[in-house]
């Protein structure tokens, strides 16, 4: 029997022993003898059962707090324990310290290099079977801890019982716990090498968590769900999103609709109600405000603590969210997630100061703290942090079949001086303000995503003039599929808020977007950011009285859908909601009892359907051939006329917008083809709440040259209205 120093036992019992495999489990003490040691504080007595012979051998209790040892003859014994607790309960269990590690040297090498793209399959808590024994393999990265243990419902949250194995100097800790199972609740008990730091942390790679305000992680089996969206996934992999229609309905799941008790709908309830609504309204995609686990409702999900866990607010299991995505796909609707790799909150149970050091964030506040949001900024120069974020992106795309990631706050990532005054930021190695590590990360993220998941889209929320955001990385771009057009949003809302009398002096706010429309692959977004923090609802931003506000909102939506670029609108705006959005309550669906609001909703529904049916509105979204001004300079009347073209040049639309409350009769518009132009949509139709000012279904051309065209139309353009006409062959 090998001698055990009393200090080793003491450190184990006091949860400070950092190398438990040196002490616990089987140890070959001679060619034919093995010493087995165990720590089981709940056991009055403990026995080793030799599984080959069935013999039971009582162990010696070396310490009355539950440290046992026995030396047996043999080699490579396969055994389990049999115990009697202090309460007289009989237990059998396997020895966690008798199993080899499941991490390979190659896993550890790739992770240290930042190249283990599917590290989520190894890190965290995974149901495994090792040597015929079922249990859970736990692992975590804590490079500056001297001891890490697993605590949870399976060990009475006793910090002493399950210390983990450290894999060399790379900081990965691992332990297989037999008999642990799906549904078990757990955390990591971390003790730092520095400053006597001791903390209990949620699993950074945890697949599910307790519902706030509780914070523990939950062992989950993501492989139990049977997907039924193969047709969708196969088509996605062979699609080109640049030439497809994309009408996005942006949603906050907790406030889209609630039940009669003002409680959240579950993922499965939302799968029925929200999917049916989006399909009825002819949206092609849902974009969800962040659904990764977060502690504070008022952050709307943008301060993430569980990057791999769909929030437990809306379901009891992670697979409930899989069901939601699956049903979206089976109904022809894509799902885009807001993803937040820019920053994370300081909540003590999560990533911040993880092992007593700044592991995930920069240590210098001039790089590591966000001055606006009071959050930490990821250290993109650290391989393991990049790996964490890259694998997280792939996790949602592969495990949950997500169709796209909208990356939040890209501007805050790429500028070192974002929201900082002079002296509050550290220049890059060339003395500039560009965050070279973040730029490199974003390029790698986009390259990896598009390589690993063909057909998936990435969208940048980037509010500056940074060049080539949506251009390939091999050309020096950031590599995003799309970029939000913040300039168009700002200009058009500024224009719509003005009294029509003064709009003639701000004509450029409508025309300017076409000066740069094809410099990036844009999404025209009227998002949640425009209806919060005192900005008012979208309909309230419109100038004028009640009638003019609704007419203007219909005109705004019509112009948005005719303008080059993909489309995004936030929930509630389609019904003309008056109240500013709040995450704490449902949308005001009762407004649909009023005809004005119901007709507004009908307009959005019909515009969506028309958009899907017209290749001229999406095939050449990012090609100058797809748009042509007819008249861009009629500032005196605040009228804009233009055409949209499909790949087939004979497939085109004529659009006329009147941004004043005065009808424009006998308004002549030049067109390239003679014949009949059918009025396809008119925002002033009575069906939509208008006054039925229009063109009686269509207009025949006159052989009058106008606007450099041989033919022209004599139109009536309704007040604060848009008409769309199509040439009939």
pLDDT at residue 168, rounded to an integer: 83
Which one, of 443, 502, 522, 434, lies nearest residue 476 by Cα? 443
Active site residue 634: no
Looking at the fold, whether 688 and 634 belong to one and the same domain comes out as yes
Domain assignment of residue 353, yes or no: no
Express the helix, strand and coil content of the chain in percent, nearest 5 each.
30, 30, 45
Rounded CA separation 721/548 (Å): 10
User: Can you give the CATH number for the domain in which 698 is found?
Assistant: 2.60.40.1180
The boundaries of the domain holding residue 655 are 624-728
Domain end point (choices 220, 239, 270): 220
Residue with structure tokens 């990265």? 141
190 contact partners, CB below 8 Å, separation of at least 6? 142, 145, 147, 148, 197, 198, 199, 200, 201, 354, 355, 356
Q: Tokens at residue 237, please?
A: 């992999």
Structure letter (DSSP) for residue 209: B
Looking at the fold, whether 74 and 34 belong to one and the same domain comes out as yes
Q: Tokens at residue 564, please?
A: 């080059």
Domain assignment of residue 43, yes or no: yes
Q: Whats the size of the chain, residue-wise? A: 729
- Residue 259: CB atoms within 10 Å: 11
Catalytic hit among 203, 384, 461, 684: 461
682 contact partners, CB below 8 Å, separation of at least 6? 690, 694, 695, 718, 721, 722, 723, 724
Buried b (16+ CB within 10 A) or exposed e, 461-497: bbbeebebbbbebeeebbbbbbbbbbbbbebbbebbe
Rounded CA separation 378/413 (Å): 9
Looking at the fold, whether 109 and 86 belong to one and the same domain comes out as no
Residue 72: φ, ψ to 5°: -125, 155
Residue 319: φ, ψ to 5°: -70, -15
- Residue 262: CB atoms within 10 Å: 9
Domains in the chain, number: 3
Catalytic hit among 408, 509, 530, 684: 408
Domain assignment of residue 203, yes or no: yes
pLDDT at residue 31, rounded to an integer: 83
Looking at the fold, whether 62 and 122 belong to one and the same domain comes out as no
Looking at the fold, whether 110 and 87 belong to one and the same domain comes out as no
pLDDT at residue 1, rounded to an integer: 47
Residue with structure tokens 């119901």? 598
pLDDT at residue 2, rounded to an integer: 57
If 0-12 CB within 10 Å is exposed, 13-18 middle and 19+ buried, where does residue 269 land? middle
**Residues 124, 139: contact at Cβ < 8 Å?**
yes
Domain end point (choices 76, 96, 116): 96
Domain assignment of residue 322, yes or no: no
Domain assignment of residue 134, yes or no: yes
Rounded CA separation 150/163 (Å): 6
- Which residues of the chain fall short of a pLDDT of 70? 1-2
The SS3 call for residue 308 is strand
Looking at the fold, whether 120 and 210 belong to one and the same domain comes out as yes
Buried b (16+ CB within 10 A) or exposed e, 588-602: beebeeeebbebbbb
- The C-alpha R_g of the chain, in whole angstroms, comes to 31
pLDDT at residue 4, rounded to an integer: 83
Looking at the fold, whether 201 and 128 belong to one and the same domain comes out as yes
Structure letter (DSSP) for residue 514: H
The SS3 call for residue 562 is helix
**Residues 186, 217: contact at Cβ < 8 Å?**
yes
- Per-residue pLDDT tens digits for 193-232: 987 899 999 999 999 999 999 999 999 999 999 999 999 9
The SS3 call for residue 212 is coil
Domain assignment of residue 73, yes or no: yes
Looking at the fold, whether 125 and 210 belong to one and the same domain comes out as yes
Rounded CA separation 496/551 (Å): 11
The SS3 call for residue 615 is helix
* Residue 67 backbone class (left: φ over 0; alpha: ψ -120 to 50; beta: rest): beta
Domain assignment of residue 139, yes or no: yes
If 0-12 CB within 10 Å is exposed, 13-18 middle and 19+ buried, where does residue 554 land? buried
Active site residue 107: no
Rounded CA separation 492/541 (Å): 11
Helices 267-280 and 319-330: angle between axes, nearest 10 degrees? 20
Looking at the fold, whether 149 and 213 belong to one and the same domain comes out as yes
The SS3 call for residue 410 is helix
pLDDT at residue 169, rounded to an integer: 82
Looking at the fold, whether 81 and 156 belong to one and the same domain comes out as no
Looking at the fold, whether 117 and 195 belong to one and the same domain comes out as yes
Domain end point (choices 70, 96, 122): 96
- State pTM to two decimals: 0.95
C-alpha dihedral, 233 to 239 to 244 to 246, nearest 10°: 30
Looking at the fold, whether 712 and 670 belong to one and the same domain comes out as yes
Domain assignment of residue 216, yes or no: yes
User: Can you give the CATH number for the domain in which 78 is found?
Assistant: 2.60.40.10
């Amino acid at each position: 029997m090998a001698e055990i120093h009393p200090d080793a036992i003491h450190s184990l019992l006091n949860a400070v022993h950092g190398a438990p495999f040196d002490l616990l489990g089987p140890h070959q003490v001679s060619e034919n003898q093995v010493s087995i040691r165990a720590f089981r504080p709940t056991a009055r007595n403990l026995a080793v059962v030799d599984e080959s012979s069935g013999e039971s051998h009582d162990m010696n209790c070396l310490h009355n707090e539950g440290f046992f040892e026995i030396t047996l003859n043999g080699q490579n014994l396969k055994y389990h324990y049999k115990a009697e607790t202090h309460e007289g309960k009989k237990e059998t269990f396997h020895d966690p310290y008798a199993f080899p590690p499941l991490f390979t040297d190659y896993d550890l090498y790739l992770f240290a290099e930042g190249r283990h793209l599917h590290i989520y399959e190894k890190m965290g808590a995974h149901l495994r079977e090792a040597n015929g024994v079922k249990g859970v393999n736990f692992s975590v990265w804590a490079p500056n801890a001297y001891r890490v243990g697993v605590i949870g419902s399976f060990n009475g949250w006793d910090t002493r019982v399950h210390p983990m194995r450290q894999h060399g100097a790379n900081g990965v800790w691992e332990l297989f716990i037999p008999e642990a199972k799906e549904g078990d609740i757990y955390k990591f008990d971390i003790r730092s090498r520095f400053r006597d730091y001791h903390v209990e942390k949620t699993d950074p790679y945890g697949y599910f968590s307790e519902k706030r305000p509780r914070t523990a992680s939950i062992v989950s089996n993501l492989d139990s769900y049977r997907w039924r969206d193969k047709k969708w996934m196969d088509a996605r992999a062979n699609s080109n999103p640049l030439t497809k229609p994309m009408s996005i309905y942006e949603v906050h799941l907790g406030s889209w609709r609630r039940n009669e008790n003002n409680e959240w709908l579950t993922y499965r309830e939302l799968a029925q109600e929200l999917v049916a609504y989006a399909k009825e309204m002819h949206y092609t995609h849902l974009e969800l405000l962040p659904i990764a686990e977060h502690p504070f409702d008022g952050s709307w999900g943008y301060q993430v603590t569980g990057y791999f866990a769909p929030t437990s607010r809306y379901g009891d299991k992670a697979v409930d969210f899989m069901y939601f995505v699956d049903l979206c796909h089976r109904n022809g609707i894509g799902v885009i997630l807001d993803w937040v790799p820019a920053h994370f909150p300081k909540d003590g149970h999560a990533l911040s100061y993880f092992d007593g050091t700044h592991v995930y964030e920069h240590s210098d506040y001039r790089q590591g703290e966000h001055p606006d949001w009071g959050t930490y900024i990821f250290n993109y120069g650290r391989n393991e942090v990049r790996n964490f974020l890259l694998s997280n992106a792939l996790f949602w795309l592969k495990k949950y079949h997500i169709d796209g990631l909208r990356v939040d706050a890209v501007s805050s990532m790429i500028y070192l001086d974002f929201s900082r005054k002079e002296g509050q930021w550290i220049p890059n190695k060339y003395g500039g303000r560009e965050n070279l590590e973040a730029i490199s990360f974003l390029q790698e993220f986009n390259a990896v995503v598009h390589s690993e998941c063909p057909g998936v889209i990435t969208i940048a929320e980037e509010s500056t003039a940074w060049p080539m955001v949506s251009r390939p990385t091999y050309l020096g771009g950031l590599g995003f599929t799309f970029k939000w057009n913040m300039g168009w949003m700002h200009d058009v809302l500024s224009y719509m808020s003005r009294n029509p009398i003064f709009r003639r002096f701000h004509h450029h706010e409508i025309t300017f977007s076409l000066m740069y429309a094809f410099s990036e692959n844009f999404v025209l977004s009227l998002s949640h950011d425009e209806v919060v923090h005192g900005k008012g609802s979208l309909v309230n931003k419109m100038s004028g009285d009640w009638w003019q506000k609704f007419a203007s909102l219909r005109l705004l939506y019509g112009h948005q859908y005719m303008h080059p670029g993909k489309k995004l609108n936030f929930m509630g705006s389609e019904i003309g909601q008056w109240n500013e959005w709040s995450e704490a309550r449902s949308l005001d669906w009762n407004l649909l009892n009023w005809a004005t609001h119901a007709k507004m909703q009908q307009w959005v529904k019909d515009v969506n359907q028309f958009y899907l049916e017209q290749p001229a509105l999406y095939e050449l979204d990012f090609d100058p051939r797809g748009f042509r001004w007819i008249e861009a300079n009629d500032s005196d009347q605040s009228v804009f006329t233009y055409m949209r073209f499909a790949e087939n040049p004979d497939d085109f639309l004529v659009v006329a917008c009147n941004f004043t409350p005065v009808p424009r009769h006998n308004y002549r518009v030049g067109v390239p083809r003679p014949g009949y132009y059918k009025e396809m949509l008119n925002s002033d139709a009575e069906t939509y709440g208008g006054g039925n000012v229009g063109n009686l279904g269509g207009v025949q051309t006159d052989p009058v040259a106008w606007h450099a065209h041989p033919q022209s139309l004599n139109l009536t353009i309704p007040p604060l209205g848009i008409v769309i006409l199509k040439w009939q062959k």
